[in-house]
Structure 1
Amino acid sequence: MKKTKFLIATAILGIATFVAIAADHIDAPAVSGGTSDITDFYAFQGENSSNIAFVANVQGLLSPDATGSASFDENTLIEFNIDTDGDNVEDLVIQATARDGKMYVFGPTTPTTTGLNSTILANSTNQLAVDITPYGQSAIVESSGGIQAFAGPRDDPFFMDFNRYGEIIGGTATSFNNPGADTFAGFNVMSVVVEVPKSMIGGTGTINTWVESKRKQ
């Protein structure tokens, strides 16, 4: 199996029992505005309560006009990390990488290495490919072996009054307005969604999970 080394670009940590949410918009200097910039990470129980869904959003602040030409970076690997024994080291990973209009998903499976470097696990028993949904079209979802996946542009789900936040940090305001102004309204992100049976995750019922974007080196 060919080994490909990736360098971590950004990471967001969450802890999931049923729901974990983390967000990071436009404030990671190394990748801000780039194709590997993670804006949101979600992990939650699926509509089927026997499943768990993992969502990574990248490339924030895409206007609808820009989304039509936006695409996933083929040199970027999106990796969902899952720690099942509480030692903050990934025991399982789910990898997603784009090629020629498709998003290829590998895992959940045991990684060959942990930490900053990753090898694409193309020989994983659990894998599928899904067409990347074009902007403005109905979601294309692919299923295989109990795993479901989607990839494509979606409306940014994160609500934040970013200007008011800046005023609070700057000392010119002390609280948020009610209601506030959604800074991200009308903007889109590129989303990767993978839903898997909980039986593929295992563990004690509580997991630590985080997502990384890693650029090919």
Structure 2
Amino acid sequence: MSDHISGPRALADPIADITDFYAFPSPDSPGRLVLVMNTLPMAGPTDLFSAGLLYRFRLRPLTVSVAGSTGAPFVPGEDEVVLDCVFDRPELAANLDTGGAKQHGSCLTPSGEEVTFRVNDEAGGAGGGLRVFAGVRWDPFIMDARAALATIATRKLAFTEEGSIFLDGKNVLSIVVEIDSGLLPGRGLLGVVAETLTRGELNVRIERVGRPEVKNMMLAPKDFDRVNRDLEIRDLYNMEDAFHLGESYCGAYRARLDANLAFWDGLDSRQDWPVGEDGRHPLTDLVLADYLVVDPTLPYAEQGSFLEIELAARRGEPHRTCGGRALNDDVMDALFTQLVNAGQGPTIRDGVDSATRPATTTFPYLAAANPDPPEPPEHH
């Protein structure tokens, strides 16, 4: 549930729900950056993409902020590369034995060239410095979601030595884009985000994702927030521009994060993140800078790179890894450890260290879809 079902609107319209977002230098094609957007939690083996949606990747250059540990660690530049993927309405195949329906899609390159592809074709489509795949794949996200929710409900760490992936074997609709480094905005750090928007003359942002679990673990719990305890805040947050947070609801986001981040910090009965006199949590500004930070000039790395650039910037030190987020990263252990003990104590493990079917190091990277996925849970 990295970003699965991240608000009432995602629950009502799951086709537009971004479940996860990844960005990493290609281990298969040096000199390329890989972007992965997963959508539609609990996708069926024959599900297809919406012709009414715009699936968008946005990339901006970043500079390290002089604010350092006292504010947002990065300043996004104004230059932006946008990659928009759209899909045709499904066509009924002439021979129903071939799978029933087929669908084509296209991705618009920064130069205006259109790269076309067939959904579920592992070769994808290529052109204009891009390679694109779209189709049903095994959901790579790993986390003991039940234990995480129990931690919030009981106010005690509920993780066990052997955890379980919630509904292991579920599928997602995945879009994978490889982009040549020469097309990237700038030659250093990048901020990257994935979005779904309505398609047509008016593009309304429905979902946007940067880092995992910002919405479900950090913004969703209401009980600790004394300012907005009755406010479901995630749909408002989803509509925001990740690079230019609006002022209208910023106070509400900050109050929620200050309260919930303090809750996570207190789970080991000590305070590792000193709160300011105004109640501001030291991580609030970093969380609100909600985009993956990646250095595509450094080589691919699987473990230890997630959040490494952000934490190095807070300390005023140079980063050592490509950052971003790889498909096989155990990001939840890294995230929970920072939230609970600021990396100054033992690793906070959720008991799940890898996917049942890990991602590969060759395009399109994600494991093939499960032909017999578990049944979706009923929502009440």
User: What TM-score results when the alignment is normalised by the length of structure 2?
Assistant: 0.43
Amino acid in structure 1 at the alignment position of 2:142: F
Contact 2:109-2:115 at 8 Å conserved across structures:
no
**Match of residue 71 from structure 1:** 48
State how far apart, in whole Å, the 1-side matches of 2:171 and 2:36 are. Answer: 15
Structure 1: unaligned runs, 5 residues or longer: 1-21, 110-123
Alignment of 1:166 with 2:149, yes or no, is: yes
Q: How far is 1:27 from its partner?
A: 2.5
Q: Which residue of 1 aligns with 2:86?
A: 97
Q: State whether structure 2 residue 26 is matched by structure 1 residue 43.
A: no
Contact kept in structure 2, 1:88 and 1:208, CA below 8 Å: no
TM-superposed CA distance for 1:30, in Å, is 1.4
Select 1:53's aligned residue among 34, 45, 50. Answer: 34
Aligned to 1:115: none
Distance (whole Å) between structure 2 residues aligned to residue 205 and residue 160 of structure 1: 31
Mark the CA change 1:88 to 1:180 in structure 2 (over 3 Å): closer, same or farther: farther
Matched residue type, 1:81: R
1:84 deviates by: 1.7
Aligned to 1:108: 110
Distance in 1, Cα, partners of 2:37 & 2:79: 17
Contact kept in structure 1, 2:61 and 2:189, CA below 8 Å: yes
| TM-score normalised by L of structure 1 | 0.73
Q: Which protein has the larger Cα radius of gyration, Structure 1 or Structure 2?
A: 2
Runs of 4+ in 1 over 2 A off after TM superposition: 85-90
| Mapped partners of 2:167, 2:187: distance in 1 | 37
Partner AA of 2:126 in structure 1:
S
Q: Give the letter aligned to residue 6 of structure 2.
A: D
CA deviation map 1:132-182 (0-9, x unaligned) = 01xxxx623222133111000000000111111111000164141122100
For residues 166 and 205 of structure 1, the distance between their equivalents in structure 2, rounded to whole angstroms, comes to: 37
Q: Does 1:176 align with 2:162?
A: no
1:1-217 correspondence to structure 2 within 5 Å: 23-32=2-11, 34-46=14-26, 47-62=28-43, 66-68=44-46, 70-85=47-62, 86-87=75-76, 91-100=80-89, 101-108=103-110, 124-125=112-113, 127-133=114-120, 139-171=122-154, 173-216=156-199, 217=202
Q: Number of aligned pairs?
A: 173
| Greater RCO structure (CA 8 Å; 6+ sep) | 1
Considering fraction of residues, name the structure with more helix: 2
Using the alignment, how far apart are the partners of 2:193 and 2:56 within structure 1?
8
Range moving further from structure 2, 39-48 or 77-86: 77-86
Return the offset for 1:25. 1.2
**C-alpha distance in structure 2 between counterparts of 1:102 and 1:184, whole Å:** 29
CA distance in 1, matches of 2:110, 2:156: 45
The code of the aligned residue for 1:76 comes to L
Return closer, same or farther for 1:45/1:89 CA change in 2, 3 Å cut-off. Answer: same
Cα RMSD of the aligned pairs, angstroms, is 2.0
Partner of residue 235, structure 2: none
CA contact (8 A) 1:159 1:184 kept: no
SS where residue 182 of structure 2 aligns?
helix
Contact 2:80 2:185 in 1 (8 A): no
Work out the CA distance in 1 between the residues paired with 2:196 and 2:139.
18
Paired residue secondary structure (1:168)? helix
* Whole-angstrom distance in 2 between the partners of 1:95 and 1:130: 13
Shift of 1:213: 0.2
Measure how far apart 1:37 and its partner are.
0.3
Name the amino acid aligned to 1:106: L
Code of the residue aligned with 2:163 in structure 1: it is: G
Distance in 1 between residues matched to 2:6 and 2:178, nearest whole Å: 28
Does the CA contact (< 8 Å) of 1:77 and 1:97 recur in 2?
yes
1:53-108, CA deviations, whole angstroms, 9 ceiling, x for partnerless residues? 1110000122xxx322x110100001100112542656110000101411110123
**Which is richer in strand?**
1
Determine the C-alpha separation between the residues in 2 that align with 1:61 and 1:105: 24
Consecutive unaligned residues in structure 2, runs of 5 or more: 63-74, 90-102, 203-380
- Which residue identity lines up with residue 58 of structure 1 in the other structure? T
Letter in 2 for 1:174: L
Letter matched to residue 29 of structure 1: P
Which residue pairs with 1:113 in the alignment? none
**Does the 8 Å CA contact 1:25/1:39 hold for their aligned counterparts?**
yes
Contact 1:80 1:93 in 2 (8 A): yes
Summarize the Cα distance change of 1:179–1:88 in structure 2 as closer, same or farther, 3 Å threshold: farther
